Structure 1
Amino acid sequence: MPSRLYTCAVLSAALCATLLSATASAQIGKRFPSERKVVRDPVTGTMLTFLTSKPHGDSKIYPTHPQWSADGKWVIFRSRLADGEALAVNEASGDIVQVSEGGYQGMLNLARKSMKLYFMRKPKDAGGGGLQIVEVDLARVFADSAAGKMQPAASYQRVAGILPDSLEAGGDMALDAGEEWVYFRVGKTEAARHLAPGAKIEPNFGPRNMGAGPNGIARMNVRTGEVRHVVSVPFQIGHIQANLFNPGEIVFCWETGGKSPQRTWTVLADGSGLRPLYPEAPYEWVTHEAVIGKDEVAMAIMGHRQIPGAAATVAGAATGVEGANPGQDDAWGPAGTREKPSGLAIVNLRTRQMTIAGQTPSGSGLWHVHGSSDGRWAVGDDFSRSVYLIDRRTREMTMLTTGHKTTAADHPHPTFNADGTRIEIQSAMLSQDGRTMNICIVPVPEAWLKRPAP
């Protein structure tokens, strides 16, 4: 009978072989079988196209960034199917292709004018230097993968530049509409170097102990590798996004993990024009801003909390599911009730006017929001993980899909494609464990698409 030590050695060797095999197989251009399924929503009847349907643990790119490749054919997403790597799924065929090799961190950035993907990467070898900005040639990856003639990863991936460790860069990154610069967050030390003398540094805000500054935004030229500082602010920065239709314009937020004293901000790439995007009142809970057009930003003004002293309503009722109805802590202050206007708000970057496109009559209200770039539609999800479409011209609202499980690992995060005909969400509708999500496409109803444009 073999000794325990020998058995462990054999198991370790087998494990090492498995890990080496997995590493060797984690190659750019690797293809996976289609998981595409079309499912009828059991409540609304909407035909949902699940581009992934197995329990790998998939998630979409955040709604602040493009989801589709520039040709409109591929949806880029994250998944443990190729752990630590980016994947693409063809919307028509369901073919899945790995589109990175060597890992990535932070946000995946798809160009809208070229078939390129950008992301940050920390080199795995000790001598690899600072954080890399990597460019992927998606057109070549897809073509060579389909032909079964993949070249080494360096043939498709280019290091556009390296960020020194002193910048403490990381987290969100955004590709400018001109596709020459990327914007990224820098840490406290670098941000402090560019703050005005005597600037008041904000402390943490709220029960999650987040929000303290300073933070900053810098930019790097993806052609030359040049790095320039954009702006420093005295608070924690989150969700950096570029105006995808107007080069040189940035939107970002004061991140606290909940209600912020002043959530939304905008600044130009040269550091000028820093201002609150939507100046909010203490009773307003503003969140989940997303640039949706050249002049417009959608955001949620939450109405998810009970009005103190008022009769109980479903708007403030607990669901009984932990995490399904967040933001109820008294420490957030008086914000987030329906005593004041709430709903899916759209702010014009030029006129600074705000309009509310719609709001659910009950429940949490709209939470993660987006809109079509032609100005026709707006979309949002709520705490029940239902997704609602709004006709911005008539203010009509309809539920597109529901049943995506409040126990899901994340929220639907609805995001329009470029022509405003389809919406991508992440959904746990098909999961057996109630948590694992898949990538799902929800169509704008044909009858709505036939309506006259505004």
Structure 2
Amino acid sequence: MKYMKKITSTLSSKLCWLGLIMMGPLGAHHASGQWVEGLDYSSRANVDKTFDMIGENAFGQHFPSEHFTFEDEVTGKTVIALTSSRHNNSKIYQTHPQWTPDGRSIVFRSDRSGKGLAYALSMEDYSITQISSGDDGSDFHLGWNKNLAYHIRNDSLIILDLGRLLEETHAGKQVTKADYEQIVAILPAHFQPNGMALDHNEKYLYFSTRVEDGHSSIVQVELSSGAVEEILEVPFRIGHLQANPYKEGELMYCWETGGDAPQRMWMASINESREVSNRPLFAETDGTWITHEVFLGPDHIGFNSMGHLDRLQQGPNGIYSLNLRTDELVFHGQQDGGGYWHTAGTSDLQWIVGDTFNGDLYLIPFGKPEAAQLLTTGHRLSSKSPFSREAHSHHSISPDGKWLLFNSSLLTASDIMMMRLE
């Protein structure tokens, strides 16, 4: 009898599922929910979007929070893993803004819905919203003051109304990408845009492009008119183009080689008449390898002089800052085992943050390397050089100086983590 009851129960279940299939998608007979075996599962409509599944490439869709808080095993400090999925997640490169101007969201890159798309993560509940799709790619530049995102798709420079998108999609509105986009310029077909820099006044946007014989140009786009103009050509490949976030008309860029450049750092200055001057920053010698330059404030940049090779340890190496007006150089320290790698700083010039190849991050009082404090450890567990596959920290500090944001390989191959700067 027990066996017969089991067969009857199984058959009844199968017939029920067959009936549901014949009626169409689950819940088709109840417009308001997902009814199965007399129970309404509509309140759990989004649980299928788990961390390990690849979602549809859908503009405006939401993913649940993945955040995970833990104490660093060495320092005891609290770290927040903003992502913890098997997908490859990484922050925007350290030369560009990470937070929306209102401070309510972080924009990052992920392959959860396709290769290298852009997503916004809420600072309030850590939920994630997809803000690009299709051919958009991930090269987004957030506004300094306006809650917009700039990006290039094919031959078009596009402005995304990010603030309105996030507000309306979080309110439950069904969104269509075209309703939030504005094409501001059509680029010449022969351009190969690489990187973007948004001027402090948000009137001009810049990018670099390759030209003949290994040369590169910086291209200017006037956002109000869409006028496109090449303003500077140099006889090398331009990389890491960035605008001074605090002062109009200043662009820093590097001679990009994929390694040690003859003269890494350069600055293009544009005056009120739109005339351009160009100069190197921090004259290098054969014994220096400069990398990862960033703006620290309106008048200062930070950079790292590598010390991971014997020949580089013969001369000055470690983290430095440079005054753009006076050329004053300040040393912020070096660590053993290959030394520091990336740098970031607060705009009030109170703090510097540096990381090492094994993924340890240090907080350094400006100009006082002897007082460096270990913040968090082990974010590149197997690395002793810059050439492993583990995540590059590329850390950034929030505009208010309260948060440190960085990439990590502590939990998975590449996650985004954040911690308070006390």
**Partner in structure 2 of residue 173 of structure 1:** 196
Moved more, 269-278 or 279-288: 269-278
Which of 276, 279, 285 aligns to 1:275? It is 279
Instruction: Specify the SS of the correspondent of 2:284.
Output: coil
1:188 aligns with 2:211: yes
Contact 2:55 2:112 in 1 (8 A): no
Decide whether aligned partners of structure 1 residues 271 and 281 sit closer, same or farther in structure 2, where only a CA change above 3 A counts: farther
Q: Which runs of structure 2 are paired with 1:86-97 in the superposition (5 Å)? A: 86-97=118-129
Amino acid at match of 1:155: D
Q: CA deviation at 1:409?
A: 3.6
Q: Distance in 2 between matches of 1:302 and 1:366?
A: 7
Amino acid at match of 2:421: V
Q: Give the count of matched residue pairs.
A: 359
Amino acid at match of 2:283: P
**Partner in structure 1 of residue 418 of structure 2:** 441
Q: Which runs of structure 2 are paired with 1:21-32 in the superposition (5 Å)? A: 25-32=56-63
Which of 349, 356, 362 aligns to 1:382? It is 356
Which TM-score applies when normalising by structure 2? 0.81
Q: Which runs of structure 2 are paired with 1:192-211 in the superposition (5 Å)? A: none
1:144 aligns with 2:148: no
**Partner in structure 1 of residue 72 of structure 2:** 41
**Partner in structure 2 of residue 256 of structure 1:** 257
**Partner in structure 2 of residue 334 of structure 1:** none
Amino acid at match of 1:414: H
Instruction: Specify the SS of the correspondent of 2:139.
Output: strand
Which of 185, 188, 193 aligns to 1:161? It is 185
What is the percentage of aligned positions where both structures have the same residue? Answer: 35
Higher relative contact order (CA 8 A, sep 6+): 1
Amino acid at match of 2:334: Q
Decide whether aligned partners of structure 1 residues 440 and 23 sit closer, same or farther in structure 2, where only a CA change above 3 A counts: closer
**Partner in structure 1 of residue 141 of structure 2:** 109
Q: CA deviation at 1:24?
A: 10
Q: Distance in 1 between matches of 2:417 and 2:275?
A: 38
Amino acid at match of 2:377: T
CA deviation profile, 1:271-323 (whole Å, cap 9, x unmatched):
5220001111111111111112101111001111114xxxxxxxxxxxxxxxx
Decide whether aligned partners of structure 1 residues 171 and 181 sit closer, same or farther in structure 2, where only a CA change above 3 A counts: same
**Partner in structure 2 of residue 344 of structure 1:** 319
Contact 2:148 2:161 in 1 (8 A): yes
**Partner in structure 2 of residue 313 of structure 1:** none
Which TM-score applies when normalising by structure 1? 0.76
Contact 2:60 2:129 in 1 (8 A): yes
Which of 265, 273, 289 aligns to 1:285? It is 289
Q: Distance in 2 between matches of 1:24 and 1:365?
A: 40
Moved more, 29-38 or 145-154: 145-154
RMSD over equivalenced CA pairs, Å: 1.8
Q: CA deviation at 1:393?
A: 5.1
Contact 1:424 1:439 in 2 (8 A): yes
Q: Distance in 1 between matches of 2:275 and 2:238?
A: 15
Q: Distance in 2 between matches of 1:162 and 1:350?
A: 36
Moved more, 56-65 or 387-396: 387-396
Q: CA deviation at 1:105?
A: 3.7
Q: Distance in 2 between matches of 1:441 and 1:106?
A: 21
Q: Distance in 1 between matches of 2:130 and 2:99?
A: 15
**Partner in structure 1 of residue 219 of structure 2:** 218
Q: CA deviation at 1:59?
A: 0.8
Q: CA deviation at 1:120?
A: 1.5
Q: CA deviation at 1:376?
A: 0.8
**Partner in structure 1 of residue 409 of structure 2:** 428
Amino acid at match of 2:328: Q
CA deviation profile, 1:85-138 (whole Å, cap 9, x unmatched):
21011123111011123332463211120101111212xxxxxxxx22111111
Gaps of 5+ in 1: 1-21, 123-130, 190-200, 202-212, 308-336, 446-454
Q: Distance in 1 between matches of 2:379 and 2:229?
A: 43
Q: CA deviation at 1:25?
A: 4.1
Q: Distance in 1 between matches of 2:365 and 2:303?
A: 16
Decide whether aligned partners of structure 1 residues 232 and 422 sit closer, same or farther in structure 2, where only a CA change above 3 A counts: same
Q: CA deviation at 1:26?
A: 2.4
Q: Distance in 2 between matches of 1:249 and 1:45?
A: 41
Instruction: Specify the SS of the correspondent of 2:417.
Output: strand
Instruction: Specify the SS of the correspondent of 2:164.
Output: helix
1:52 aligns with 2:90: no
1:418 aligns with 2:391: no
Gaps of 5+ in 2: 1-52
Instruction: Specify the SS of the correspondent of 1:154.
Output: helix
Instruction: Specify the SS of the correspondent of 1:165.
Output: coil
Instruction: Specify the SS of the correspondent of 2:326.
Output: coil
CA deviation profile, 1:255-275 (whole Å, cap 9, x unmatched):
111111100000123452200
Moved more, 180-189 or 293-302: 180-189
**Partner in structure 2 of residue 370 of structure 1:** 344
1:297 aligns with 2:329: no
Instruction: Specify the SS of the correspondent of 1:101.
Output: coil
Contact 1:408 1:427 in 2 (8 A): no
